Structure 1
Amino acid sequence: MKANSLKVLVLLLTGILISASTPNKNHTEKTKFVVVLDAGHGGKDPGNRGGGFKEKDIALSIILKIGKELEKNNDIKVIYTRDKDEFIPLDTRAKIANDAKADLFVSVHCNAHNSQAYGTETFVLGLHRNQANFEVAKRENSVIFLEEDYQITYDGFDPNSPESYIGMTIMQEEYLDQSILLADFVQKKFTNDLNRSNRGVKQAGFLVLRQTYMPSVLIETGFLTNTSEGKYLNSTNGQTKVAGAIVGAIKDYSHSINLGVLDNLENNAKIEVIAQENKIKEFTDNYEGITFKVQLAASSKKLEPKSSNFKGLTPVFREKEGKLFKYYFGATSSYSQIQSLHEQAKTKGYKTSYLVAFKDGNKITVNDALKSQAK
């Protein structure tokens, strides 16, 4: 009896030692940048069929190409809401992203219109400000009519009723800045790299975005109803280029938002702090009551805002906004000075940094800041 008890004790101790010496896989996974890729429509829902094409097939092809490229990066984990032709309810797509505690949710679609309209547009969650945006949201949300008990699942939401959108709870409010940032990266890649017509970053009430709890965008990659654009999107070449642009935007965003580039800096014993030439310079274009800053990055990671952690940049400020820590370089009422600091940040490697503005402690757009009276 004692011998058997001793064997059990030895086995238990061995198991504990093995467990302690084995790397924590879940911990490793959590350090990765998690991207959930959502191919619009699928299965019994073909999406729009402009030009005789099927939106569901094109969206899936583009998503799989995006995923294949992202998976080459060991720091990125890719999750698909669907990787084949199947019907996935909108709330299930959001649940997949929420359960994965994703850093990003990217939904890909193709547009349609009763004209030869063309161009790309990327949406973030919000109330539509014009009829065109409402029509896009209404079309994409109408998929819920194919779901059983959709009235219960979506609390009586009616895609065709403007009142339903007015009453929509904006669950994503704290992620809006990050969603707009990603959307802007996407549109710039389409415009600058592919020479596509830019219809802009827009807001509308998409159900699939409403229920996600992370920065989320819905990308309309072009119009299948446009003769040339439909053929482009249905071609392997077109899909590869569109996917490549979205991959580039996601990478730019992750570098800006995830602070992954800073992980190695914490362990770097010596970082040369280069003296800043022209540090003392007179700037007279002051905007009274306005503070401009350069946003270097944002992350759930709390990092000391010292120069050695930010490639020698100083001063750096850390502020908590929602669930994220945001890291700002500089603080000035001079627009020309903040532009100079922005250039300095970019030469240090912060290529995706951007300007932000505050008035009386509240964030406003830089355009609104510049509209105020210069002193």
Structure 2
Amino acid sequence: MKVRFLKYILTILSLVVLAFNTEAKQFVVVIDPGHGGKDYGAIGAVTNEKTINLNVAKKLGEKIRKNYGEDEVKVVYTRDKDVFIALNDRARIANEAKGDLFISIHVNSVDKKNKRRATIAGTEVYTCGLHRTESNLEVAKRENAVMYLEDDYSQKYQGFDPTSPESYIAFELNQSKHLDRSIEFATLAKDYLTTTARRVDKGVKQAGFWVLWSTGMPAVLVELDFISNPTSEKFMASANGVEKLSKSLYQAFEDYYTAVNGGQRPAGTATAAKSGDNSKKSEPAAVADSVEEYAAESDAPATVEYRVQVLANDKAVSTSSRLFKGEKVSEYFDRGMYKYTVGHFRSQAEAEKSLRRLRKKFPQAFIIKMENGRRVD
């Protein structure tokens, strides 16, 4: 009788464990090698962008699959061979896969008339948003111009014109709820590319990339380096270069995956990487991320409170900076980023009232929940 009862208990426990594992969320990373097929991307002296993108993307996917089980992390490619994939199909693949992170891999270049064409170098990592500089806009225009290779691009992309600045206004909005995580991965990727792969640091930036705007998940576009620079091109085309570039992105993924799953970052995080980097660090473009307002609150913050986050950056920003446009802000440090908020609200409803006002100044502002001074996701 006792043996039968024990078997029964073990059977029930097995079913519970099976149900738990079945319900556990598999993390899906979508790797997007830019360009492909008839679309060569930027052209170098000995190779082209589509080839470099695919080589690095496939090596990154191999590293993830080698170190994570299929039930833990699923790797999805928008392309795994030399074929042309339209921008809207790349986004569709990512969204249908219910991705948790979208990494679009590209190679940079500048116009042949540019005097620095053969000497400009460095890695840039972009999140989606309104470009703050003309150079950011030009990068977005170049990457979005692949639309012209599609016969029905005007209808397919609902009249979007890659060359028109006015077409990019809406890009500030759709990715706002994923911006915090996007910046987090972008910062990790940038830091590892400048340490592990020894690329020049050109910062974390924003621009209106259609493929990022149309994906419903944290998303970044990585510009590995400039193919117009012969030295950079030689590195990216080499087996050693592909290994170091893919390893950099894998290290960023490893830290990011650990962070979003609530674990401690292992040694070699972005902070550790920075300490060993002697290359010049450029300040990334400020990105709206959170705002707080001191309305409907007591002087002492509650144990549980809501705030509106307006900014996140990998370097500290003065709370009196003109970026905050006269708002009274607080700073907290979380997941390797300095984050800035407005207000201490007792309820989410109170925070939402201020969010509507603050989004006129900070279109990407969103509400966060804090418990005992720590953010709760």
Distance in structure 1 (CA, Å) of the matches to 2:237 and 2:20: 40
Counterpart of 1:39 in structure 2 is 33
- Flag the structure with larger Rg: 1
Query: Which AA in structure 2 matches 1:175?
Result: H
User: 1:247, 1:226 → 2: CA distance?
Assistant: 25
Query: Corresponding residue for 1:371?
Result: none
The residue that corresponds to 2:341 in the other structure is 358
In structure 2, the residue matched to 1:77 is: 74
1:27 Cα deviation (Å)? 3.5
Q: 1:170 to 1:51 in 2, by over 3 A?
A: farther
Q: Distance in 2 between matches of 1:81 and 1:24?
A: 31
Distance 2:244 2:169 in 1: 37
Q: Which runs of 4+ in 1 moved over 4 A?
A: 20-26, 315-322, 352-355
- Is the CA contact (8 Å cut-off) linking 1:191 and 1:198 kept in structure 2? yes
Q: Distance in 1 between matches of 2:303 and 2:250?
A: 29
Contact 2:307 2:342 in 1 (8 A): no
Match of 2:61 in 1: 67
Decide whether the 8 Å contact of 2:100 with 2:217 is kept in 1. yes
1:195 corresponding residue in structure 2: 198
Aligned residue in 2 for 1:8: none
Structure 1 match to 2:47: 53
State the percentage of identical aligned residues: 41
Supply the distance in 2 between the matched residues of 1:185 and 1:27 (Cα, whole angstroms).
31
Look up the match of 2:131.
128
- TM (normalized to structure 2)? 0.65
Inter-partner Cα distance in structure 2 for 1:136 and 1:240 = 25
Moved more, 186-195 or 102-111: 186-195
Q: CA offset at residue 356 of structure 1?
A: 3.0
Equivalent runs, 1:1-375 vs 2, <5 Å: 27=22, 31-72=25-66, 73-74=68-69, 75-113=72-110, 114=112, 115=117, 116-168=119-171, 170-259=173-262, 352-361=335-344
Structure 1 residue 358: Cα displacement:
2.4
Instruction: Specify the SS of the correspondent of 1:360.
Output: strand
| DSSP 3-state at the match of 2:341 | strand
The aligned amino acid for 2:120 is A
Paired residues of 1:33 and 1:258 also in contact (CA < 8 A): no
1:178-201 Cα distance to aligned partner (Å, 9 max, x none): 101110000111122232100000
Looking at structure 2, the residues matched to 247 and 192 of structure 1 have their Cα atoms a distance apart, in angstroms, of 13
Residue 44 of structure 1 aligns to a residue in which SS?
Answer: coil
Structure 1 segments unaligned to the other structure (5+ residues):
1-19, 263-288, 292-314, 323-332, 343-349, 365-375
CA distance in 2, matches of 1:68, 1:104: 16
Deviation of 1:360 after TM superposition, in Å, equals 1.8
Q: Deviations over 1:105-160 (max 9, x none)?
A: 00000001141210000000011111111111111001011113111111111111
User: Taking structure 1 as reference, are residues 24 and 98 closer, same or farther at Cα in structure 2, changes over 3 Å only?
Assistant: farther
Cα 1:247/1:150, change in 2 over 3 Å: same
Letter in 2 for 1:48: A
The offset of 1:24, in angstroms, is 6.8
Note if contact 2:308-2:341 (Cα within 8 Å) is conserved in structure 1: no
Aligned residues: 273
Residue 277 (structure 2) aligns with: none
Task: Give the aligned CA root-mean-square deviation in angstroms.
Answer: 3.3
Is the CA contact (8 Å cut-off) linking 2:124 and 2:205 kept in structure 1?
yes
Which residue identity lines up with residue 44 of structure 2 in the other structure? G
Q: State TM-score, norm by structure 1.
A: 0.65
Cα offset for 1:260? 6.0
> What SS does the aligned partner of 1:51 have?
coil
